[in-house]
Copies of this chain bind each other. A is one copy, B any other.
Amino acid sequence: MAEARLITVDDPDDPRLHDYTDLTDVELRRRREPAEGLFIAEGEKVIRRAVDAGYIMRSMLLSAKWVDVMRDVIDRLGVPVYVVAPELAEKVTGYHVHRGALASMQRKPLPAAEDVLAGARRVAVMESVNDHTNIGAIFRSAAALGMDAVLLSPDCADPLYRRSVKVSMGAVFSVPYARLDTWPRGLDAVRDAGFALLALTPDEKARPLDEVAPHTMERVALMLGAEGDGLSRRALAAADTWVRIPMSHGVDSLNVGAAAAVAFYAVATGRG
């Protein structure tokens, strides 16, 4: 049965490849993917993590040598697997797919913020982080360093965009996240759920993270802004406490990925 699902395709305009067209056109894909209810997982490891996390696979696009590697997944899921030459994959997607395996996955409805907050003690709240690489890197660190959930302001980039997924190494599947409908007013619900709202900022008036000792607090929501601008005034005004990473050598700032990692460690790891 599974064998019958292997479909060799040699026409780049075959409509069955629609999920995989124009992958390098970020603007187009950013609109299309949520509208069509899909996202793209790339490479064996990330595809397996998406499946393990309970996402439903629509199809796969593989070059021939990846069929054996993915054999167990193919047999188990029984979805259409389009087997194509590397040149055809490039023609369809717009780039050289050097990881050799793409999967189109079905999105799930995002949970409500309250549901994500219910069981959590450590939450990262991102404002206006609209770079896909940064979003992915932050999710990877959040997962590794013990953050329980992520909340996004309405204008944050999509964690399920291909590049975010890849940079996160699939952490976007394992850390629950939700999008706040209003900003910064949506933060009220976070505070109502019992979280202290800590805003990470290089501002001198902020208290050093180690002095605030957030790892001793019961429930912490750590607010982070985008590379460059940081948190907006409105977001800073909505916070309970401003915290900063102690800096030396007259350096203005860490990059957002490094700052997030340090802050997650400080928030999540109790130090003796």
Contacts and interface: CB of A to CB of B under 8 A. Distances in A.
Contact of A251 (B171, B254, B259, B269): B171
A261 B210 CA distance: 15
A76 interface: no
Given A146-B246, A171-B249, A175-B249, 4 more contacts: A141-B254, A144-B253, A213-B272, A257-B257
A269 B146 CA distance: 20
Interface residues of A, number: 39
A266 B220 CA distance: 20
Interface string A165-207: 0000101001100000000000000000000000000000000
A141 B245 CA distance: 11
A137 interface: yes
A249 B213 contact: no
In the A-B complex, list the 6 residue pairs whose CB atoms are closest, starting with the nearest: A258-B261, A146-B248, A144-B251, A143-B249, A210-B271, A262-B265
20 contacts: A137-B258, A140-B254, A141-B254, A143-B249, A144-B251, A144-B258, A145-B245, A146-B248, A171-B251, A174-B250, A174-B251, A210-B271, A211-B272, A245-B265, A248-B268, A255-B257, A257-B257, A258-B260, A258-B261, A261-B262
A228 to B, nearest CB: 12
Given A140-B251, A145-B262, A254-B261, A269 B210 contact: yes
Contacts of A210: 269-272
A140 B141 CA distance: 18
